[in-house]
Amino acid sequence: MINKDYLNNLNQAQKEAVIHSDGPLLIVAGAGSGKTKVLTSRIANIIKEKKAFPNQILAVTFTNKAAKEMQNRVSSILGSAAVGLSWLGTFHSICAKLLRKHASAANLNSNFTIVDTDDQIRLIKNICKSENIDIKQLSPKFILAIIDRWKNKGYYPNEVIVNKKDIYEKTILPLYKIYQEKLINLNSCDFGDLILHVVKIFEHNTDIRDTYSRNFKYILVDEYQDTNFIQSKWLNLLSEKNKNICCVGDDDQSIYSWRGAEIKNFLEFDKTYKNTKIIRLEQNYRSSQNILSVASNLISNNQNRVGKTLISTKEEGDLVKLNCFKNGKDEAVGVSDEIEKKIKKKFSYNNVAILVRAIFQTREFEERFLKIGMPYRILGGTKFYERAEIKDCVAYLRLIHQEKDDLAFERIVNNPKRSIGDNTLKNIHQFAKESNLNLERASIKMLELNLIKPKTKIGLNLFLNSLKKWRSDSIDKKYNHIKLLQTVLDESGYSAMLKNKKDLDNENRLENIKELLSAMKEFDNLESFLEHVSLATSIDQEWDGEKINMMTMHAAKGLEFDVVFLPGWEEGLFPHQKSIEEKGQNGLEEERRLAYVGITRAKKKAIISFSMNRFYQGDWIDSMASRFIDELSDKNLEKNSFFEEDTNNDDGDFDFNQDFEMEEETRSPGWIRYQKRIK
């Protein structure tokens, strides 16, 4: 049954965005302004008003979590009428779906494997080895970063124009060519390929492009400010026929340029799409007015922005606190004291967050919290599907699913140990290359030709025979995918390997595998599960327990907490010196957007702090308050005693960001302020 009240719960701007009929629409959605509500209501309205069938709507998000939330919200409005939203998902999941339908146009089979970061690194290492590239001088991660940058720009290897002054690019381009050939030979692609291949298919096959462009009567995109060139290009091609593209986002929260995001996609939307309607969502449902005023005053210093003014639906609330501390250790003590004496009386630990610019900043807080027994969690650790034991399980399943998956073969052929050493694997690689076979086929052939040492022969034979049996069981549907993994773990000796060594780590690994088996229940078959694993994103994770949350400001985007601490607002640290050195004014503006994101995570309390001295890389350094502190609206701030003492000082050297020359025995303004205080 359709919930007919969904429009009544919207403010005027939200309602206007929902019922907007045809043509390009840019929704400038400030932090906490209800953009998800608008997106889902718009989808529901399109279906309810019969402007399009569910399968004629393309709705794109960046994370699986956001896609799931969107699906659930639409279903809560439309009920059974929401069935058929088959094109609602992440950029990568939708492109994977499209690519499987048209794999041959990219020289792939439809059962291609999506390789993860670890597999990519191993592949690059193998290529570097064969091409005599010293990975100590040119790291695989750096090589992959450059390749990914080219893919985000829409370049296949033969389309790259190398910067002649860049010696690294000249070296990496030939590796990119080999890497791409290897992926095709392995019937694989990486994440960058998912979108790149689809865009190239669309560009070279107008019939395919037109089919989808006509079908998608309405296109909706979440977090548009985070799109890169190739994502924007893909959307542009798909919206060619109907022009009904609606993009939602906040240019003031564009903080991922280091991942390839291009803010100009957002800022120039109305140039790309003629007759664009722009609607601003300026009512904030998250934060108190004082928090919003501080954040708005700060971000107004950026020049490259669409512009908006956020108004809170809540009360004025507490003033934003600004604290100055003697050093980093005192800052950690000050934060813990605030939590102990004031915060925990009113708020649960789960609703308290400490947001830092760089992850090393957590050390002093961790030491302090451990000392006083305050529970905490670091968010952004190893993801579930990146844990070694989970990757091992998935590798077994991948190889069963597709014998061409050499990367999976490499990972598990000697895991658990089967006396198959590096030399044997090297020989198999060589034979496979010479015979143009995958590693599994090459191993079988080498055994037939008696090219494997007797000791190794036993373990390799056992592995290959088991693999054959498991694959047969899978094809014959003797077991479902869950039972298949259980069988593999038992018959391979993997479970025994973990059980036989009784220590905490192995116990945790066994618990993780149990959790994996539980997770697999949510999928109908092996293929859909493997696809899910491949597409799992870094920010999709489950949290539990009453603990204070610590994370980077980047990791905090999209989250909210009652209380937010923002320590370390010092020049060089925040804004980060590297960002300014590499990107100049653009870098500074992105750092300011990051500060804006940090402040607007807070619903009721925001506490900003800086230290006058900090222990960094083995040395004490004299700090200077961040220039961003100058940009906070003074009337919305409450300052600690360090500032109060300075008010009585005629010298006025508490002004931030003073110009001064560093001479011998001269210290920073922060150091001077502290000296005056202790005298």
Length of the chain: 679
Q: Cite the active site residues.
A: 35-36, 222-223, 253, 601
> Which backbone phi and psi does 275 adopt, to 5 degrees?
60, 35
Q: Which of 288, 280, 294, 299 is nearest to 560 (CA)?
A: 288
> Which backbone phi and psi does 572 adopt, to 5 degrees?
95, -35
SS (H, E, C) 191-205: HHHHHHHHHHHHHHC
Q: Which of 342, 372, 339 is nearest to 353 (CA)?
A: 339
**How distant, in Å, are the alpha carbons of 303, 547, 592 from that of 598?**
19, 19, 10
Enumerate the β-bridge partners of residue 637: 320
Alpha-helical (H) ranges within 479-576 are 481-492, 494-500, 504-520, 526-535, 553-556
Do residues 82 and 55 touch, judged by C-beta distance below 8 A?
Answer: no
* Cis, peptide link before residue 140, omega less than 30° from 0: no
Beta-carbon contacts of residue 342 (< 8 Å; ≥ 6 apart):
none
Do residues 485 and 401 touch, judged by C-beta distance below 8 A?
Answer: no
Which amino acid would we find at residue 78? L
Beta-carbon contacts of residue 181 (< 8 Å; ≥ 6 apart):
none
Beta-carbon contacts of residue 64 (< 8 Å; ≥ 6 apart):
89, 90, 93, 535, 536, 537, 540
Do residues 237 and 202 touch, judged by C-beta distance below 8 A?
Answer: yes
Residue 312 C-beta-side C-alpha neighbours within 13 Å = 19
User: How far is 33 from 434, CA to CA, in rounded Å?
Assistant: 60
User: How far is 300 from 568, CA to CA, in rounded Å?
Assistant: 22
Enumerate the β-bridge partners of residue 29: 281
SS (H, E, C) 93-110: HHHHHHHHHCHHHHCCCC
User: How far is 652 from 646, CA to CA, in rounded Å?
Assistant: 7
